[in-house]
Structure 1
Amino acid sequence: MTIHIRQETEKDYLVSAQVVEEAFEHAAFSDHTEHNLVANLRKSDVFVPQLSLVAEDEGVIVGHIMLTKLMIRDGEKQHESLALAPVSVVPGHQKKGVGSALIRKSLEIARDLNFRSVIVLGHDTYYPRFGFKPAHTWGIKAPFDVSKEAFMALELVNGSLDQVKGTVMYPKVFYE
């Protein structure tokens, strides 16, 4: 298996949607509409095309990841960050490093684009391997009731969250 990661193009959208749908088809903590979220995020002002990536195995798309803009609000202060959601790998390619490769590449590109941090709601035993820590470490809270361990943040630049605290404000498209 040789995985190639590249920026998603419009021609990939249909296949990417199928990948996302397949990836979450049997997920326990899913409403099974992640593919709709991806489609809606692409049409929104928080979409960053360079941070929508696909993973190919011999020319076939087997994974997808998307990072989009969000804000962390503390009263009148707002700090831009990114949401990592979702990362998807078709079942036959799961647990083979495809998701990890997508995450690493997307974080590298986000740094290159001068983003300073990333927020994720996910498995607290998986994301720490990429440097994510519970967001409450910095005084960052979720806008809804969720396990503190599963709501995580990552500094793309050392110290970038030291002066940041508040509540993550997901764009309205996350709630549609």
Structure 2
Amino acid sequence: MLIRTEAPADILPIDRLLKSVFDTEAEANLVMKLRENGRCTLSLVACNDEGEVVGHVFFSPVLLDGEDYYWQGLAPMAVNADYQRQGVGLAMLEEAKQMLAEFGYPAAVVLGHSDYYPKAGFEVAAKHGILCPYDAPEEAFMVQAYVPGALEGRTGTIEYCPEFADL
């Protein structure tokens, strides 16, 4: 399994993957809009041995109470049904964590499955005083520091890019 940054040739395969994994086209449309508006911080793909895109994870900037601490929002993440439960998602998250830390992005938030993302090191954001802007279960909104100390003294409500308003 090869995990690498998105290339222009991956845009349509990513779009197809997102449309196949999610119930609606909202996530695929979100990624296109974020990409078009220059709000892509990191987009990784996982490719099988034939070079087919079978996984994707996307990060875009978020603010904390209107302040930019270079934190990122993870959304969406998708893995082809034939490749789920094989560690593809966790491998993409580990690669993203290393890359984002190296590039100076100290933390990320995710609104997702509370039984999955803790396996990758995410923890309930509310425990750190970091709140979700959406009406969601507390345990579903999580944060992870990619750089030691990134969460210290940081509290408030996360603000996603305006493109998320269409979800």
* TM tier, smaller: over 0.9
- Verify: 1:85 aligned to 2:83, yes or no: no
Kept in 2: contact 1:140–1:166 (CA 8 A) = yes
Report the Cα distance in structure 1 between the residues aligned to 2:56 and 2:79, rounded to whole angstroms: 7
Q: Give, as a single letter, the amino acid of the residue that structure 2 aligns with 1:70.
A: V
Task: Look up the match of 2:44.
Answer: 53
Taking the aligned partners of 1:87 and 1:112, their CA distance within structure 2 comes to 21
Say yes or no: does 1:67 pair with 2:59.
yes
1:60-139 correspondence to structure 2 within 5 Å = 60-73=52-65, 77-139=67-129
More helix by share: 2
Give unmatched runs, 5+ long, in structure 2. Answer: none
Aligned residues: 165
Counterpart contact for 1:70–1:81, Cα < 8 Å: yes
Which structure is higher in strand share?
1
**Inter-partner Cα distance in structure 2 for 1:107 and 1:20:** 21
Give the Cα–Cα distance (whole angstroms) in 1 for the partners of residues 3 and 70 of structure 2: 26
For structure 1, the residue ranges without an aligned partner over 5 or more in a row are 26-30
Counterpart position of 1:22? 20
1:6 and 2:4 aligned: yes
Identity of aligned residues (%): 33
**Once superposed, which parts of structure 1, at least 4 consecutive aligned residues long, lie more than 2 Å away?**
77-80
State the superposition RMSD in angstroms. Answer: 1.3
Determine the structure 1 residue equivalent to 2:145.
Answer: 155
| TM norm structure 1 | 0.89
Structure 2 residue 32 is the aligned partner of structure 1 residue 34? no
CA contact (8 A) 2:18 2:25 kept: no
